[in-house]
Structure 1
Amino acid sequence: MTELGRRNVLKSGAALGAVPLTEINANPSNNPRSETVDSSSEEVSGKVLWPASEANPLNAKIVCFTTVSKDVDASIRFYRDVIGMSVLIDSKVSSGMSSAPGIQQGERRHVILSMPDSHNSASVRILEAAKDAVEIRPRPTSGPNDPGLLVMEGGTIDAAESYHVLASANTPMISSPRYYFFRNTTWGRDVDVMSYAPFGPGGEQLFITANVRGDRPEAKYKGLHSGFANAAITSLDQRPVNDFYEKALGLKRTSQMECYQRNTNQLVGAPDDTYFLWGNVGSGVSIEVWEVKSKSGIVYPTSLDKTGLAMLTINVNDLDLCRRMCVESNIAIVGTGALPLIENNSMDGFVLRGAVGELIEVVQI
C-alpha cells in the first residue's frame, strides 16, 4: 500500500469511530459526571470568632498553675527570690483531698505562692515529686509540635532586666529575649512585645513577656515581674481542643492570628520555618490554643506523678452547671475533689482531661 493509501485508510477509520462532542454531552449515559453533579444550593455550617462578651458564660479564669518538682526548696527559691512571689502555704497534702490522675497515696509536700500587688495573676502550686519521677515533656527533644500543655506565661516591665536576673540565677533558657509583632489582630490592636522562655526547677516551661508599645498602659504591679496568668496549649488540629473547652467550660474562640516569624520560633524552640496559628478561647480566662503546622508530634499527657507543668486550676461561677455540661457532652470526669488554695475552703471540685492530655481542675471559689 502506498503512503497515500495508508493516509486515506486512517482518515476513513477516524471518521467512522469519532463521535461529535455535542452528541456525548447530549446523551447522559455517555457522560458519567452528569449523574453526580447537583446544581441545587445547600447551606453549610462553619466556625466564627465570638465577641468577648459572649465567649465566657461561666466567667472561667485560671487561678493556679500546678508544677511538680523533685526539689521543692529549689522551686520555692526560684519563684520567691528570683520571680518575686510570696509563699502562702507550705504544708503536706493528703491523697484524700483529690483523686486527680497521679495524685499518689499518702502525703506530699504542697506549696502555694502568689505575686503581691498583682491583681490579675494566678497562684503557683508546687507539688513534691518522687525521686524516680519522669518528665511530662522530655527536654530538649519535645517542642511546640508536640500537642499538650506547653507553657505558663507571665509579664515583666523590662525583658532585658528580667533576663539578666534569671540568667544570674543560672536559670535554663531557650534563648535570650526576642522581639516579635502581630499587626491588625483580632483583638483590635497591634501586639509589640519582647519575650523569652526560661524553665523552672521542676522542668516547667515559662514565657516572660514585656509590652514594648509606646502607648502601653502603666504596669499595675510594683516589682519587676507580674506573676503568671496565661497558659498556651498546642495542637496539630485546634478543632478538638476548641470543641473541648466550649463543651466543658462554655469557652468560645475569640481570636486567631498566624505566626511565621523566625524570632518567635527561636523563642519557643521551634525550627525557623515553623508556621502556626494561635489565639484565645474565651475572654479573661487566659488560655491560648495553638495549631502548629507539622506532619507529626507526640502527645505527652500531664499527670501529678510526673515533673513539670502538670495542671491548670480554673475557677467558674457555677460548678454544678459546669459539671452538668461535661456530663451532657460525654466528657469524662477523671478526678474528684480539689487541692487546697488559700481562697478555696470548700474543697469541692473535679478534674477533666483536655483534648491533648492536659489536666484541668475545676473549682468554684
Structure 2
Amino acid sequence: MLKGKKVAVYVTGGIAVYKACDLVRRLIKVGATVRVAMTESATEFVTPLTFQILSKHHVYTDTFDEREGDKVSHIHLADWSDLAVIAPATANTIAKIAYGIGDNFVTTALLATTAPVFIVPAMNEHMLNNAATIRNFQSLENDGHFIMEPDTGFLAEGYEGKGRFPEPEKIVETIQEFLIKKETYLPLKNKKVVITAGGTKERIDPVRYITNDSSGKMGYSLAHAARDLGAEVCLISTSKTLKTPYGVALVSVETAEQMHQAINAEFKEAAIVIMAAAVSDYRPDHVANKKIKKSEQEMTLTLVKNTDILATLGSQKNDQFLIGFAAETHNVEEYAQGKLKKKNADMIVANDVSKPYAGFNKDTNEVTIFMKDEQPIELKVKSKQAIAEEILAVALTKMKK
C-alpha cells in the first residue's frame, strides 16, 4: 500500500526521535519515497545528517533556507507529499497544528498540506491526559487527521505509563491500514477473502501428533496481499509463531476438522477462498488421553481419512473463486491438473517443495498457476510476498465481478 507513495515525515522534539530513524528506514523498505523535516528541538536529539543518510534527501529544518530559487520549500514539500506523518508528535506541536500556528518549517508545511495527515503522539502520560491535549486531539480528528494510539510501557521518566512511541513496525502497519480505508477504489474493497495457512496437526496422544513441514508463510503473505487490495481478510491458521498482518482477522485452529469447521463458518460470505494450508490427509482413529509409554512391543497406528476440504468446497461453491495449493515433489503438472479437475477448483497453485528455494519453511517460492482451459502461468523464484501479490493479480482477472 505504501509502494510508490511520497511520504513526508515530520519529526518533532522528544526522546522518541531516535525511533523515527527506524520508522524512516521501514517506510523506505516497503517502497515509499521519504523526505524528512525536523523542528529545532528534534535536532537536539538526532542530527539532520542521520535522516539525510537514511532518506537520501536533504532534511528540512529552516523555513528560510530556500535552496532552490524556483521553489518555496515548505510549500513544495506539502504539495509533493501523498501522506504526511508526524512522528513523534509532541504535545507542543499537536497544540500548534490544532490552532493553525505556523512558526517553524514543520508547522508551516503542515498548514499547507492537503494530503492525509497521520499523527503519532509520544509524550509523558500526564501531558497526554491533560484536558488541553485531549481537546487538541479532538480538534485534529474533527479536521480529518488520524491520531494513532500511543503505547503503554516504560517511559523516559522512569515509570510505567501511556504515551510511549509505538514500535516502528506497528506504525507502518497502521499507516497501511489507514491508507486502505482512504482509498476510494481497491479491487477487493468490501469483499471477504478467506485464507488457510500452516500444517494441521492430528493428535496421537497429548504430546505427539502427525503433521508436516508447512510454516504458513505463504498463507500469511497472501493475507497481507489481500488486505492491501482492500479485502476483509479472515486467516485460518495453525501457526503459533508468525505475526498476524495488521487488520487481518485470525482464527486459530489445530486439526483438519477444526479448519473445516472454521471455513464452513466463513464460506458463504467469501468472494475468494484460498486453501494455502497443508492439510493432513489422515488422522489417528483413536487419540490417547494420556501419553503412550514406550514398551518392548512394536506399535501399530491406524489412520482414517480426513475430510477433503478443498473437494468439499468445490462441490458447494456458487460464486466463490476457489484456489487450492499443490505441494509436490515430482510430476507437479500432472498432479496439479488432476487436482484442479477432481476438486472443482478455479485455480491450483503448484510448487515443487523439493527445490531448495521453494516450498515449506522458505522465504522464497516458485510456483505454476493452473486454471481450466488456460495455459499454465509460471511465476519464477521471488519472495513469497511477491508471489502472493501475483497470484491475486491473476485471480482478479479471472473471477466474476
Give the structure-2-normalised TM-score. Answer: 0.24
Q: Which has the higher contact order (CA 8 A, sep 6+)?
A: 1
Q: Which one has a larger percent strand, Structure 1 or Structure 2?
A: 1
Larger radius of gyration: 1
Give the structure-1-normalised TM-score. Answer: 0.26
